[in-house]
Amino acid sequence: MKGGIKNNGVIPSCFTSKAIEEKFSKLGVNNEISLILHLPLRYEDETYLCQISDMPGGEAVQIEGVIVSNEVMYRPKRQLVLQVEDDSGTIFIRFLNFYGSQIKAYSIGTRVRLLGAPRPGFFGTEMVHPKCHVVNEKAPLPDSLTPVYPTTAGLSQVIIRKLVRKVLIDKARIDNFSETIPVKTLKHYRLNGFMDSIMLLHQPTPDVPAHLLEERTHPAWSRIKFDELLAQQLSMRLHYQQRYKNLAPTLLDKKKLTTELLKSLPFNLTGAQEKTFSEISQDLSKPYPMQRLLQGDVGSGKTIVAALAALQAIENGYQVAFMAPTEILAEQHYQKLSNWFKSIFGSLGISIAWLSGSQKKVQRTAALSAIATGNAMLVVGTHALFQEQVEFNKLGLAVIDEQHRFGVHQRLALRMKCTKKGMVTHQLMMSATPIPRTLSMSYYADLDVSVLDEQPPGRTDVVTKLFTDTRREEVIVRIKEACCAGKQAYWVCPLIEESEVLQLKTALDTYERLSIIFADLKVGLLHGKLPPHEKSSVMDLFKQGAIQLLVATTVIEVGVDVPNASLMVIEHAERMGLSQLHQLRGRVGRGVDASVCILLYKEPLSEIARRRLRIIFEHNDGFEISRQDLLLRGPGEFLGVRQSGVPMLRFADPEKDEKLLKDARDVAEEMLCDYPKLAQLHLQRWLGEKNNYLKV
């Protein structure tokens, strides 16, 4: 690096001590570039002085005057009260916390500059705890707004400002801060220069419209957000390209087994299913690893699409791992796939293996050996599939259901398992949490995405009802009537986040209570702590209609599929997240009967709970619910990506800055092609070490 500036996380010359360096590092600032990218949250205007008699009410203003009285008062509590006077009038200043040294420093006759919001007080107009410092007469005023930075305990604004200023003065000799975007591109997209934007945001002159700074819509802000989005796009696109440097088995669409399966199904594929399968099928037939996300709302029929993909791999002689995040769901897949593949596999003499964490050793050993010899061409299971001991004979495709439940690392562990030397497995991920388009463009730019945007025919929208839990009796009567008339219902127990034990107890209590109330019905209980064989026997009884009311914890949230169930009650719905509510509700509305979902909630509702319930009440479409959820929570929480290593956005918001995001995507393509060096510099500037995500 030129210019004598140390980088690479080494203490830059600007950090004056180890202690300060540590504080900055808490803020993610560890070199000069990250320091200048540490941008202000807001600004204070100290560029002019207001006359005391002219102060507008409520707004923060700066005044200057001489202290004319100084008194420590004890009523209503201990406080330091000053009176300050300028040519136009006087004002009271109150400090509720103060040091002895301040009483002295603010002695009568001292000239002070004060920044604060005046308001009517007991004695007259007053400022409480204004920013206050002693000045000489005619001390010059700053000529730019005063930035207020995000900070951490023990790191004052004064220190941050001083360091930023020092680095910005030196900028001329710092090669590191040069422009990373070609001039032509800047012009075309009407973007401001990088350094101009940085300077403006750290030291805006008073003529810069305050609201543009505050709303972060000033062109300088746009440039910074653009840069951030560009770095994200570059990183994702590089990752995407990297994929094409790896080899994967070529799995051609021989249309033999897939046609056989399609013929045996009691339904025809929807147009969306055909389209998504053909996208997947083409990927599989290429010699590099597929990494495709199949997105589709709850009930859109993702499983059959994955089953077809599995057959395409199998007819090329490769094994398939089919994975789900919970035992109940994995088991359902196992049953469903066994059913679909029974006759096909029977005639080929191959089998399906089942792997789960809780299975008996004998069964596990048998499964492992069938997997190792290649007798089992399809392996269905939970995370148990990731474990070291699982040796595939020839793994070609991994299907991961509800991918957002698995971490990036788990997904990777599976990808490495392709047993053919030097090859990577194809991956098909599925998610029923539809990701809004802007987010998917931003956080999933490294994946290919197929969308199932059509429900199988005959689905009915679920009618959602909201009841306060004081109306529980009414709900019980309804359920009783419906079940006596041959319908089936779920009763979902409240979620108790703090304690699993308590959650289990609540489920048991609910089950007991409801068993008494519904004495003439068959009531079942399903929760996560049941031994696996009991779980599956309860599910079987419910599927067969031998259980009419199924009391369950949120274990039924993912994937459970019993078309005859048309009623659902969710207790304490106000405690659940939107995607959870949507997934739970998706368990009904799968058959011919009109379905109802009753959300019981307990007053008083928090503001956010009220908004969630309103959204779930008003919308049935998963994409819309996701969009609203994203607006409510922001992308970090929505995706749960904080832990996953995907670079987070600090400044830009994919939803609000959609135009910038699209431009950044185009520019990223262009730069990777035509200006790879600048692209590298840009990535280094914005992601530094975080760029490791590339290696994932």
Footprint of Mg ion (CB under 5 A):
559
Q: How far is the CB of 314 from ligand ADP (least distance, A)?
A: 19
Q: What is the DSSP string of 67-85?
A: EEEEEEE-SSS-EEEEEEE
Interaction of residue 299 with ligand ADP, rule CB under 6 A? yes
Closest CB to ligand ADP among residues 108, 592: 592
Taking the CA atoms of residue 250, residue 253, residue 257 and residue 258 in that order, the dihedral angle to the nearest 10 degrees is 120
**Within 589-648, which residues bind ligand ADP (CB under 6 A)?**
590
Residue 645 binds which of ligand ADP, Mg ion, none (CB < 5-8 A, kind-dependent)? none
Question: Given the rule CB under 6 A, which of 218-226, 302-310, 339-347, 376-384 is the region that contacts ligand ADP?
Answer: 302-310
CB nearer to Mg ion: pick between 297 and 657: 297
Count of beta carbons in the 10 Å neighbourhood of residue 134:
13
- Choose the contact partner of 304 out of Mg ion, ligand ADP, none; CB within 5 to 8 A by kind: ligand ADP
SS3 label, residue 285 = coil
Count residues binding ligand ADP (CB under 6 A).
Answer: 17
Nearest distance, CB of residue 670 and Mg ion, angstroms: 39
Neighbouring C-beta atoms of residue 569, cutoff 10 Å: 25
Our CB check for ligand ADP shows the closer of 24 and 340 to be 340
Question: Which is nearer to Mg ion, 336 or 437 (by Cβ)?
Answer: 336
Q: Would you give the distance in Å from CA 598 to the centre of its chain? A: 28
Q: Is 296 in the site for ligand ADP (CB under 6 A)?
A: yes
Region near ligand ADP per CB under 6 A, out of 26-34, 55-63, 241-249, 301-309: 301-309
Least gap, CB of 203 to Mg ion (angstroms): 54
Q: Does 270 bind ligand ADP (CB under 6 A)?
A: yes
Which of the ranges 300-308, 413-421, 468-476, 522-530 carries the binding residues for ligand ADP, by CB under 6 A?
A: 300-308
User: Closest CB to ligand ADP among 4 and 457?
Assistant: 457
Q: With binding defined as CB under 6 A, does residue 273 bind ligand ADP?
A: yes
Of 86-94, 182-190, 268-276, 492-500, the window that binds ligand ADP (rule: CB under 6 A) is: 268-276
Q: Which does residue 150 bind out of ligand ADP, Mg ion, none, counting CB within 5 to 8 angstroms by kind?
A: none
- For residues 402 and 410, is the Cβ–Cβ distance under 8 A? no
Find the shortest distance in angstroms from Cβ 337 to Mg ion.
12
267 binds, among Mg ion, ligand ADP, none (CB under 5 to 8 A by kind): ligand ADP
Q: Which long-range contacts (CB under 8 A, 24 or more apart) does 481-485 make?
A: 482/566, 482/567, 483/518, 483/521, 483/548, 483/549, 483/567, 484/520, 484/521
Residue 469 lies near ligand ADP (rule: CB under 6 A): no
Q: Extract the runs of DSSP E, i.e. beta strands, from 432-486.
A: 448-452, 463-468
298 touches ligand ADP (CB under 6 A)? yes
Q: How far apart are CA 224 and CA 660, in angstroms?
A: 10
Between 396 and 559, name the residue whose CB sits nearer to Mg ion.
Answer: 559
Q: Which of Mg ion, ligand ADP, none lies near 561, with the C-beta cut-off 5 to 8 A by kind?
A: ligand ADP
The residue among 235 and 303 lying less far from ligand ADP, judged by its C-beta, is 303
Least separation, in Å, of the C-beta of 461 and ligand ADP?
Answer: 15
Per rule CB under 6 A, is residue 561 in the interface with ligand ADP? yes
The residues near 618 (Cβ < 8 Å, ≥ 6 apart) are none
Which one among 219, 456, 545, 634 touches ligand ADP, defined by CB under 6 A? 456
Quote helix, strand, coil % in the chain, to nearest 5.
45, 15, 40
Query: What residues contact 2, with CB distance under 8 A and at least 6 apart?
Result: 175
Nearer residue to ligand ADP within complex by CB, 434 or 688: 434
Partners of residue 466 on adjacent β-strands: 599
Binding residue (CB under 6 A) for ligand ADP from 9, 267, 416, 608 = 267
How would you label 203-233 residue by residue, b for 16+ Cβ within 10 Å and e otherwise?
A: bbeeebeeeebeebebebbbbbbbbbbbbbb
Q: Which of residues 209-248 bind ligand ADP (CB under 6 A)?
A: none
Closest approach, Cβ 678 to Mg ion, in A, equals 43
273 binds, among ligand ADP, Mg ion, none (CB under 5 to 8 A by kind): ligand ADP
To Mg ion, the closest distance from the beta carbon of 657 in angstroms equals 33
Distance CA 107, CA 67 (A): 7
Stretch that binds ligand ADP, among 60-68, 87-95, 110-118, 297-305 (CB under 6 A): 297-305
CA pseudo-torsion sign 308, 310, 315, 316? positive
Ramachandran sector of residue 458 (left: φ over 0; alpha: ψ -120 to 50; beta: rest) = left
Taking the alpha carbons at both ends of the chain, their separation in whole angstroms is 27
Cα Rg for the chain, rounded, in angstroms? 32
Answer for which of 186, 269, 476, 605 binds ligand ADP (CB under 6 A) is 269
**By the rule CB under 6 A, 579 interacts with ligand ADP:** no
Nearest distance from C-beta of residue 298 to ligand ADP, angstroms: 5
Least spacing, CB of residue 399 vs Mg ion, in Å: 11
CA-closest candidate to residue 530, choices 541, 518, 545, 544: 541
Return the residue nearest ligand ADP (CB atom): 301
Min dist. Cβ of residue 601 to Mg ion (A): 27
Q: Which is nearer to ligand ADP, 4 or 266 (CB)?
A: 266
Position 429 contacts ligand ADP (CB under 6 A): no
| Long-range contacts of the stretch 96-103 (C-beta < 8 A, 24+) | 96/128, 96/129, 97/129, 103/70, 103/72
Cβ(163)–Cβ(14) below 8 Å: yes
**CB-based contact 547:524 (threshold 8 Å):** yes
Residue 303 or 488 having the CB closest to ligand ADP: 303
Q: Which two tokens stand for residue 588?
A: 């009904």
Answer for which of 303, 316, 425, 548 binds ligand ADP (CB under 6 A) is 303
E runs forming strands in 334-411:
351-355, 376-381, 395-400
531-550 residues near ligand ADP, rule: CB under 6 A: none
Contact 176, 8 (CB under 8 A): no
Reduced to 3 states, what is the DSSP secondary structure of residue 150? Answer: coil
> How would you class 77 by CB atoms within 10 Å of its CB: exposed for 0-12, middle for 13-18, buried for 19 or more?
exposed
Pairing mode, if any, of strands 319-323 and 395-400?
A: parallel
Could you say which of Mg ion, ligand ADP, none residue 521 binds, taking C-beta under 5 to 8 angstroms by partner kind? none
Q: Please give the residue ranges that form the binding site for ligand ADP (CB under 6 A).
A: 267, 269-270, 273, 296, 298-304, 432, 456, 559, 561, 590
